[in-house]
Structure 1
Amino acid sequence: MALWVKEQQTDDLALSCRVSKVLHREKTPFQDMAVVDTLQYGRMLVLDNIIQTTVGDEFVYHEMITHVALNTHPSPKRVLVIGGGDGGSVREIVKHPSIEKVVHCEIDGAVIEVAKKYLPEISCALDNPKVEIIIDDGIKHVRENKQTYDVIVVDSPDPIGPAEGLFSVGFYEDIAAALKDEGIFVAQTESPFLNRDLIQRLFRDIGGIFP
């Protein structure tokens, strides 16, 4: 009997991938987590039945969420990554020679440990000496660190459960306060094709805070 990962994206659309092997399953204090090998995309990380990343195509997302902001900033030295426990964003950030410090704030430390074990291609920079890993709530971290970062990358999952607050006006206000002058903020904001209402709200919320 074939085993499939099925992500229900809308009432009318689902994405399914055939699984060749289940490598890990765990219920953390925050979410259900699984790592599987798939026939189409290779190894896959799944959180709460939502596909987070795959070895086959992760570079598209991780390169775009990091390099545009880092190449736009004149001299990025201190970068904060919120979420992204797989380590892909961190891997791309440390490629920039101007970077002195990357603070990686992930609420669920189990994701980092699983990524190190099962996704070495993605998590390979988490032990870089420029990287400091903090297991904490990113909402709390930005609230407590003012004028600290040149670039902030919010590499969050979908806006449900522990990630819901990462899509709020209050969080964006704290992000703005945590950035240095000329700082840049970039975030995962879902699909413009499938989440139009959310995108419109975020555009209004962020546009009212950032010039």
Structure 2
Amino acid sequence: MDESVPAPSTLIKDGWIIECSDYHVGCSQTFRIDELLYHEKSEFQDIVVIKNELFGTMLFLDGAIQLSERDECAYHESIVHLPLLSHPNPKSVLVVGGGDGGVLREVAKHSTVEEIHLCEIDEKVIEVSKKYLPMTAVGFSDPRVKVHIQDGNVFLEDNKGKFDVIITDSSDSSGLASVLFEKPYHQKMKEALKPGGIICSQADEVSWTEQQGRFSPPCITKLLEVCRTLFPVTATATSNVPTFPCGLCTFVMASTNKDTVFERPLRKLTEREAEDMNLQYYDSELHAGAFVHPRFARKMFGAQS
């Protein structure tokens, strides 16, 4: 492969991978490729895995950073433990997307969970992750995990009323996963929940970029509007992920239980429990802080519930 020639959605030039698209208006991120481990186009998207001196192994889908070995704990621990520790007794969990296995790894740390389903449309992401990203793909080894290679929308339609928590670990809203940011998908998630169920979706962007009006349509506020029409309780949380644009990731959460208070975990972890779970980022104190936003963001998002 000629590394100087950009792939359909991925720009690799002079030993660097450049995350640059019309979606990120006016800015880009660049990471040095110390070793190109994998680069192929699957049936659905362009997949790149590199080694970088600072961030370790890194996964890109259609040119957009998905995770790095250095900071993936911040993303995966937040998207899992924020919702699961807000639920009184999560037994059945569905992950839509998440082909790298990191969400599975964190869900499996909860002893109350009896079954974990992963619905991933691109089997190649799973295959590549198992080979190059063992620190996240270890999640597939848990015996409670059942993998379904299919469209998440279709899977939800066939599994109504089955899950306590549904986590959408999707790629960016501008590409393959765009349907996972729309109201019909969230309606299907609601119907697939058991009474008192919770959803958590990565919201793609951060309030700094949305404040400047650089994304169309604004993803966080759009997801909040969708969830507020379907659920009695919604909330937004953030996690510090240095390799993501602006260094933050936002999550939109919602519950069918009107008494849910996301900002305070129902079950607080002791220091010993956090150590036993090998948590690098999340703890109960950080849980509360994840829902604290700057003044401009609070005005933009409106009421949390």
Contact 2:15/2:34 (<8 A) preserved: yes
2:29 alignment partner, SS class: strand
Does residue 206 of structure 2 align to residue 194 of structure 1?
no
> Hey, what does 1:203 align to over in structure 2?
224
CA deviation vs aligned residue, 1:18-69 (integer Å, no higher than 9, x gap):
1101011111110010111012211001111111111010000000000011
2:190 aligned residue (161, 169, 176): 176
TM-score, normalization: structure 1?
A: 0.97
Moved more, 148-157 or 188-197: 188-197
**For residues 12 and 125 of structure 1, what CA distance do their matches in structure 2 show?**
37
Q: Post-superposition, which runs of at least 4 consecutive aligned residues in structure 1 deviate over 3 A?
A: none
Looking at CA atoms only, which structure, 1 or 2, has the larger radius of gyration? Answer: 2
Contact 2:57/2:68 (<8 A) preserved: yes
1:115 alignment partner, SS class: helix
> Hey, what does 1:76 align to over in structure 2?
90
Following TM superposition, by how much is the alpha carbon of 1:168 offset from its aligned partner in structure 2, in angstroms?
A: 0.7
TM-score, normalization: structure 2?
A: 0.67
Following TM superposition, by how much is the alpha carbon of 1:2 offset from its aligned partner in structure 2, in angstroms?
A: 4.6
**For residues 106 and 158 of structure 1, what CA distance do their matches in structure 2 show?**
15
Contact 1:2/1:18 (<8 A) preserved: no
Greater share of strand residues, 1 or 2? Answer: 1
**For residues 33 and 17 of structure 1, what CA distance do their matches in structure 2 show?**
15
1:103 aligned residue (110, 117, 134): 117
> Hey, what does 1:27 align to over in structure 2?
41
CA deviation vs aligned residue, 1:144-187 (integer Å, no higher than 9, x gap):
21100000000000013321110110000010000000100000
How many residues are treated as equivalent by the alignment?
211
**For residues 178 and 54 of structure 1, what CA distance do their matches in structure 2 show?**
31
Matched residue type, 1:193: W
Q: Which ranges of structure 1 fall in alignment gaps of 5 or more residues?
A: none
Contact 1:2/1:19 (<8 A) preserved: no
Identity %: 39
